[in-house]
Structure 1
Amino acid sequence: MTRLRWCLLATLALLGALLAAPAADARVRDDAPILDPIPDDPAPSGLGLVLKEVAQLPKSEPSAPPTDPRLKRWNRINHVGEVPDRSGRLYVPDLNGNLYLLDGKTRTPRVYLDVKGAFPDFYSAAGLGQGFGFVAFHPDFKRNGKFYTAHVESGEALKTRTPDLTPQPKTAYHGVIDEWTADDPRAGTFSGTHRELLRIGFSGRVHNLQQIDFNPNARPGSADYGKLYLSVGDGGNGNVGDNGGDPQNLGVPQGKILRIDPAGRDSANGRYGVPKDNPFAGQAGRVGEIYAYGMRDPHRFSWDTGGSRRLFLAHIGEHEIESIHEVKAGDNIGWSEREGAFTFRKDDRCHLYPLPADDAKHGYDYPVAAYDHDPPADWDCKSDTGHAISGGYVYRGSALQALRGKYLFTDIVDGRLLYTEESEMKRDPAGRHRAQIYALSAYDTSGRPVTMKQLAGDERVDLRYGSDAAGEPYLLAKANGKIWKVVGTKSVAGCRPGPDRISHATGAAAWAPVTPSKWRFPGKEVVLAEKGEQRPGPRRPFEYAVLKKGPELASARIDAEVRLDTPVAQKDRDVIVVFGYRDDTHFYYAHLSTDNSVYPHNGIFVVNGADRLRIDQQWNANRSHGAPPSITDASWHRVRVTHCAGTGEIAVYVDGASRPVMTALDGTFGSGRVGFGSFDNIGRLRDLTVRGTPAN
């Protein structure tokens, strides 16, 4: 989402217009830029992936020294899949030119084909997607030895070769699809023949050919069996300039998903077939190869191999929206008239706008899930915000039951692991409904929490998913050229709290309040009856009581019911649950508040001899909001706080939800006591049970 930087004159003019023309209020609001296109951030899932490193592929270099630092990677591997011959071999394309096969048992990589060496005009020196972009093995590769590659050419190819479909003006690069036929499909290195199928001209150095693939659900004899799908970008400037509007132009291939028959010969160049069941096949002035259109950078697509067997597309946005679409024949994603489910205006490079009242007439295919960029306040509206989506597929494997039915995807740049529930990914012509996106954690095989940035050794991860024939997931990163297999799942803060159990602790003798006169102990409740007052020292909760009963605990799980007694009309009402308490200036606390719009509210904090520091993973500093408000009424609410001393994991659950509202990772305090209180509000606690491992 974009941080708006309204100038004073513009703000005054808008206010003046609103005051002077009340009848036009709705029109002005509908035409105003949207400050926060998608307010909801990915929510914590409470689930993590256990990752095992299985390979590191060799270093590689672009076809010429790049000037863009984003191309200076260990290598540029961008996918992993399994060769469809039951050998167990994995294949990995490297944009810099090599196709690798990984041994079915040892996962040792070996160059199967040097794509770069096969084409003298091969180009990978500029543009994030240029080079050897993808490979797709024919589903009958074991018998026919056929597979297909997508690569980019420049230089002399621009003078000696002619694109087959309408090229963009000022063509500077060719995207090329080739068919290869191996003499022996079982061989460890390629030997055989190849032929060119299709060549497309692009003016820009980004958004060229992306994924190419076959529908895994198609069976021999079905209409879709052996049909090759190609995701074709808009060339980098499909919204402005000479090729502005190309994604909406059915007379050109750019900004589309194409579908061709490699075994056919009725195309214009006679090298492949145009399936007659394509939505625009045989229509004058329209490219018959088009399957769906209106795309900027259709980065990755996949078919659900179970459930609905739908086709999903992960679509990289311009400057705001990363989206997932369900794609059917003839669908129009909307670019560059739309970015996600918002109006894109070519005269405003910083903002998106609401959909017009008559939007339904266009029939755009809006996202079934999406997130936005949340750039920092000083973003210049032109530079890379450091976000881009990469799918991803619906997990239908058998080894990881916790992932069943989840569409797994990543953010390429920052390395976040994300998912949505396939069952919640529903088309909405109005663009209002989107499935909730959830964040996954990561662990190494010892159970230690890690991030993909740590595993990749770089702030820019360049992360993507792949899978084997059984549908089991792999992750790979260009930053260090490594591949990890997902070998298990793990609950966040899922440690066993320990053998000790503390309960029936509501009497005054069990508690040590900061200010005893402010507390009441009527029997089955612990009541903070008077609001606290700020005390000298670091900024921390004003009033709380520490549980004296039982030992100090290392790992601990706190279960209780809490209620806020401060009137609901007051926005900043809160109670806190204390844990890891060492003394008055050294402890953790979970802040449960009605407000989530400021730094000190509704989060997980540590006080370590200084002002409280927010440590939860849900705080969005660029948009100044945290997890959804935890308590908004005057009712009792069940709260669970889990602290795993060994890993530093913390999770907070409210009202028995299966997913936490807040999570954190911090190793400051490995043991301490628990407590209850507030800053300057009143509330109460009951039904307290603490389970834990005694310290030392």
Structure 2
Amino acid sequence: MTRFRLRWSVPTILALAATLLAVPPATARDDGPIKDPIPDDPAPAGMGVVLEEVAQLPKSEPTPPEMVVDPRLKRHNRINYVGEIPDGSKRLFVPDLNGKLYFLDGKTKEQKVYLNVGETFKPDFFSAMGLGQGFGFTTFHPEFKKNGKFYTVHVEAGEALKTKTPDLTPQPKTAYHGVINEWTASDPSSDTFQGTRRELLRVGFSGRIHGIQQIDFNPNARPGDADYGKLYAAVGDGGNGNVGDNGGDPQNLGVPQGKILRIDPAGNNSANGKYGIPADNPYAGQAGKVGEIYAHGMRDPHRFSWDTQGSKRMFLAHIGEHAIESIHQISSGSNLGWSEREGAFTFKKEDRCFLYPLPADDAKNGYEYPLAAYDHDPPVGHSCTSDSGHAISGGYVYRGGKLPALRGKYLFTDIVDGRLMYTEERDMRRDPTGQKRAQIYQMSAYDTTGKPVTMRQLAGDNRVDLRFGMDAKGEPFLLSKANGKIWRIVGTRNFADCKTQQVQVGNATNPGDWAPVTPSKWQFRNREVILAEAGEQRPGPRRPFEYAVLKKGPVFGSTTIKAQVRLDTPVDVSNRDVIIVFGYKSDTEFYYAHLSSDNTIYPHNGIFAVNNADRLRIDGQWNGDRQVPKGAPPAITDANWHDVQVKHCADTGEIGVYVDGGRKPIMTAVDTTFGSGRVGFGSFDNIGRLRGLNVTGTRAP
């Protein structure tokens, strides 16, 4: 065997050592605060829902009224859910946090007060502080038609704190009780309650928010199933479960706060003997642990639901602290991580402003991270210790039969700003690292005439206080505390769904087909329209420097523009762009879609209007008042050809911009400044080209 001996010189050894020392360690991590936890915003859905108003509930006041100081409680009323009574009567039920349970006739929607919960528990009933205080929720036993049983949760204060004792470990300095009651109607078909009630469970909270949010039964369970007749209760952390005397309660299995509980109203093996603790609960019978707990690690578990088809999973919409609004899958023993985690980020009690990356050894904790989430994107100058104006309200996976475009989508809202959103149930998958999340889409809304509207407009208030409800067949409702109205979703509609086939113009590649701002900068060859020389700023309002208007064909009303475009400016230039002009009336009156590789500044990658003034951004994707401003994802980032479509509906003002055959727009706007005009192509101060132009539309009057 031949042996080789390596001979190393001293300079070689020193050079190798220097090289090795220069290599950064593989485990190096950035553990600093995260300024923008979820950079991706909800994307335009390219569709919307058609809303029909069905009822407005009576005005009501919190109790006691003299204690109300928070303007967010001064609503028309505080209705927070609408559902259908499970007895075949088609009657709807609507609880108002201020105390009353309403029944609505299935056909006429005539309203009747079925039960006055506030009056029943007077003077201890309390709804004057805290956004969720009062008569929080009601649910009906699946056999209500036979047994007349239904369940409510409400809040008590005052003398109740002295005369009544919580059943499970209360928080120190308890100031409020959340109480679950069982009611038995002597005549389930009546529209006015008569019968009996009994208290099941009383939980003590130190804070005025994040009490017992929802109670409900699993609609998938059938007689004989282990889950049939089991009552779930979403119990918040009391408002300060991350700090103070009760810091850490959501992770403490010895207390009920920050948990989802699961109990059997027909049982009696609980400590108070009024309900049962199911033997298949994850901690049933374990010393030092609350056997009622089904899942834990929650701050404000606002709404939960079960998919009634598919995987039949249980989903929870969870309201965050610093930044994260999230949707989770809930199973027996699930731990969402609060208050060690907020969403898929590290929460530090000493930092009231930022979240942090997960530690390298995070997998050992077994936390279950969101299936989908969005962040708050607070505005510039916003105090990180105050409400940023965002909160998720969960809905459900739509499996109804009347709205096929919504089927399989988990519908939810932002309570405050009234955004209507969804994720695809099939895309909602657990990821132990917390990095993979389902895309969230934002829907538009229309009235029954097809006019675009916003929930803020329908509610008559910037704070919408919006929530989903549904009937027995899974058909959706929306309801707002701002004006106490309920709307039924009666249809869906594609965004910018106007007819544009009356007139068609194509093969427009000759110089005579176009009117450029500066003809010498343009070339027309190889069936391409080429902006060969960058434009220069001109006097007048700020607007694109160089473009050419299509002279061929008529002036269009509603228009669909299809073409391929290419940016010829080198890709290392950050602000490279081309524009598509439409609605053109004059050099200072037109719309344009700006297609850019930069989405971080106001003039880039958006939809704009020039109306005898500096260009104004009108698209719905820009959030320039935020601490981390950004718009839609960059439209074009390379030097390749890209398919672009711009659709403009003159009647509704809807504008959608689509790239590379996408079925969903990357940018949308609603604006009625220009109802007709010509189309064009150009740039600010870059070069690029267009080919395959095809314009269809209605001829302007």
Please state which band the TM-score falls in when normalised by the shorter chain: over 0.9
Residue in 1 that maps onto 2:636: 631
Q: Please report how far the alpha carbon of residue 30 of structure 1 lies from its aligned counterpart in structure 2 after TM superposition.
A: 2.9
**Superposed, which structure 2 residues align to 1:329-478 within 5 Å?**
329-478=332-481
Q: 2:295 touches 2:333 (CA, 8 Å); kept in 1?
A: yes
Q: Please report how far the alpha carbon of residue 25 of structure 1 lies from its aligned counterpart in structure 2 after TM superposition.
A: 8.8
**In structure 1, C-alpha distance between the alignment counterparts of 2:520 and 2:572, rounded to whole Å:** 26
**In structure 2, C-alpha distance between the alignment counterparts of 1:538 and 1:377, rounded to whole Å:** 27
Q: Please report how far the alpha carbon of residue 23 of structure 1 lies from its aligned counterpart in structure 2 after TM superposition.
A: 9.3
Residue in 1 that maps onto 2:233: 230
Secondary structure at 1:298 match in 2: strand
Structure 1 pair 51/28, CA: closer, same or farther in 2 (3 Å)?
same
Q: 1:526 touches 1:684 (CA, 8 Å); kept in 2?
A: yes
Residue in 1 that maps onto 2:488: 485
**Superposed, which structure 2 residues align to 1:494-513 within 5 Å?**
494-513=497-516
Secondary structure at 2:333 match in 1: coil
**In structure 1, C-alpha distance between the alignment counterparts of 2:277 and 2:135, rounded to whole Å:** 24
1:657 aligns with 2:662: yes
Q: Please report how far the alpha carbon of residue 695 of structure 1 lies from its aligned counterpart in structure 2 after TM superposition.
A: 1.0
Q: Please report how far the alpha carbon of residue 22 of structure 1 lies from its aligned counterpart in structure 2 after TM superposition.
A: 9.3
**In structure 2, C-alpha distance between the alignment counterparts of 1:26 and 1:644, rounded to whole Å:** 54
Residue in 1 that maps onto 2:58: 58
Q: Please report how far the alpha carbon of residue 381 of structure 1 lies from its aligned counterpart in structure 2 after TM superposition.
A: 1.2
Q: 2:235 touches 2:301 (CA, 8 Å); kept in 1?
A: yes
What do residues 298-318 of structure 1 show as CA deviations (whole Å, max 9, x unaligned)?
000000001110000000001
Secondary structure at 1:454 match in 2: helix
**In structure 1, C-alpha distance between the alignment counterparts of 2:629 and 2:61, rounded to whole Å:** 41
**In structure 1, C-alpha distance between the alignment counterparts of 2:22 and 2:524, rounded to whole Å:** 56
Q: Please report how far the alpha carbon of residue 475 of structure 1 lies from its aligned counterpart in structure 2 after TM superposition.
A: 0.2
**In structure 2, C-alpha distance between the alignment counterparts of 1:27 and 1:376, rounded to whole Å:** 34
* RMSD after superposition: 1.2
Tell me which of 105, 108, 125 is aligned to 2:107. 105
Residue in 1 that maps onto 2:598: 595
The amino acid across from 1:104 in the alignment is: G
The amino acid across from 2:109 in the alignment is: R
**In structure 2, C-alpha distance between the alignment counterparts of 1:26 and 1:589, rounded to whole Å:** 47
**In structure 2, C-alpha distance between the alignment counterparts of 1:645 and 1:296, rounded to whole Å:** 46
Work out the number of aligned pairs and report it. Answer: 676
Structure 1 pair 486/143, CA: closer, same or farther in 2 (3 Å)?
same
Higher deviation after alignment, 308-317 or 26-35: 26-35
1:220 aligns with 2:223: yes
**In structure 2, C-alpha distance between the alignment counterparts of 1:489 and 1:237, rounded to whole Å:** 41
Residue in 2 that maps onto 1:642: 647
**Superposed, which structure 2 residues align to 1:274-313 within 5 Å?**
274-313=277-316
Q: Please report how far the alpha carbon of residue 156 of structure 1 lies from its aligned counterpart in structure 2 after TM superposition.
A: 0.5
What do residues 365-399 of structure 1 show as CA deviations (whole Å, max 9, x unaligned)?
10000011011111111111100000010000010
1:90 aligns with 2:92: yes
Q: 2:322 touches 2:355 (CA, 8 Å); kept in 1?
A: no
Answer with 1 or 2: which has the greater Rg: 2
Residue in 1 that maps onto 2:13: none
What do residues 652-686 of structure 1 show as CA deviations (whole Å, max 9, x unaligned)?
00011010000001111111000001111111111
The amino acid across from 1:97 in the alignment is: G
Residue in 2 that maps onto 1:263: 266
Q: 1:507 touches 1:523 (CA, 8 Å); kept in 2?
A: no
Any unmatched runs of 5+ in structure 1? 1-20
Residue in 1 that maps onto 2:118: 116
Q: 1:300 touches 1:391 (CA, 8 Å); kept in 2?
A: yes
Structure 1 pair 28/69, CA: closer, same or farther in 2 (3 Å)?
farther
What do residues 459-517 of structure 1 show as CA deviations (whole Å, max 9, x unaligned)?
10000000000100000000000000000001111111140111111111110001111
**Superposed, which structure 2 residues align to 1:560-639 within 5 Å?**
560-621=563-624, 622=626, 623-639=628-644
Residue in 2 that maps onto 1:74: 76
Tell me which of 158, 163, 166 is aligned to 1:160. 163
1:690 aligns with 2:695: yes
**Superposed, which structure 2 residues align to 1:133-212 within 5 Å?**
133-212=136-215
**In structure 2, C-alpha distance between the alignment counterparts of 1:398 and 1:351, rounded to whole Å:** 44
The amino acid across from 2:426 in the alignment is: S
**In structure 2, C-alpha distance between the alignment counterparts of 1:25 and 1:355, rounded to whole Å:** 19
Q: Please report how far the alpha carbon of residue 564 of structure 1 lies from its aligned counterpart in structure 2 after TM superposition.
A: 1.0
**In structure 2, C-alpha distance between the alignment counterparts of 1:30 and 1:99, rounded to whole Å:** 52
The amino acid across from 1:693 in the alignment is: T
**In structure 1, C-alpha distance between the alignment counterparts of 2:26 and 2:441, rounded to whole Å:** 34
Residue in 1 that maps onto 2:47: 47
**In structure 2, C-alpha distance between the alignment counterparts of 1:376 and 1:503, rounded to whole Å:** 45
Structure 1 pair 24/109, CA: closer, same or farther in 2 (3 Å)?
farther
Q: 1:211 touches 1:299 (CA, 8 Å); kept in 2?
A: yes
Secondary structure at 2:498 match in 1: coil
Structure 1 pair 680/25, CA: closer, same or farther in 2 (3 Å)?
farther
Q: Please report how far the alpha carbon of residue 26 of structure 1 lies from its aligned counterpart in structure 2 after TM superposition.
A: 8.4
The amino acid across from 1:288 in the alignment is: G
Q: Please report how far the alpha carbon of residue 572 of structure 1 lies from its aligned counterpart in structure 2 after TM superposition.
A: 1.2
Q: 2:581 touches 2:590 (CA, 8 Å); kept in 1?
A: yes
Q: 2:371 touches 2:431 (CA, 8 Å); kept in 1?
A: yes
Q: Please report how far the alpha carbon of residue 29 of structure 1 lies from its aligned counterpart in structure 2 after TM superposition.
A: 5.0
**In structure 1, C-alpha distance between the alignment counterparts of 2:22 and 2:307, rounded to whole Å:** 50
Secondary structure at 1:423 match in 2: helix
**In structure 1, C-alpha distance between the alignment counterparts of 2:368 and 2:112, rounded to whole Å:** 42
What do residues 505-560 of structure 1 show as CA deviations (whole Å, max 9, x unaligned)?
11111100011111111141111111111111111111100000111111111011
Q: 1:260 touches 1:273 (CA, 8 Å); kept in 2?
A: yes
Moved over 4 A (4+): 21-29
**In structure 2, C-alpha distance between the alignment counterparts of 1:644 and 1:500, rounded to whole Å:** 15
**In structure 1, C-alpha distance between the alignment counterparts of 2:647 and 2:600, rounded to whole Å:** 24
Any unmatched runs of 5+ in structure 2? 1-20
**In structure 1, C-alpha distance between the alignment counterparts of 2:303 and 2:30, rounded to whole Å:** 33
Residue in 1 that maps onto 2:133: 130
Residue in 1 that maps onto 2:554: 551
TM-score by length of 1: 0.96
Residue in 1 that maps onto 2:16: none
**In structure 2, C-alpha distance between the alignment counterparts of 1:45 and 1:31, rounded to whole Å:** 34
Q: Please report how far the alpha carbon of residue 28 of structure 1 lies from its aligned counterpart in structure 2 after TM superposition.
A: 8.2
Tell me which of 513, 525, 534 is aligned to 2:528. 525
Q: 2:565 touches 2:643 (CA, 8 Å); kept in 1?
A: yes
The amino acid across from 1:322 in the alignment is: E
What do residues 62-118 of structure 1 show as CA deviations (whole Å, max 9, x unaligned)?
111211000000000000000000110010000000000100101111100000111
**In structure 2, C-alpha distance between the alignment counterparts of 1:595 and 1:125, rounded to whole Å:** 48
Secondary structure at 1:384 match in 2: coil
Q: Please report how far the alpha carbon of residue 252 of structure 1 lies from its aligned counterpart in structure 2 after TM superposition.
A: 0.3
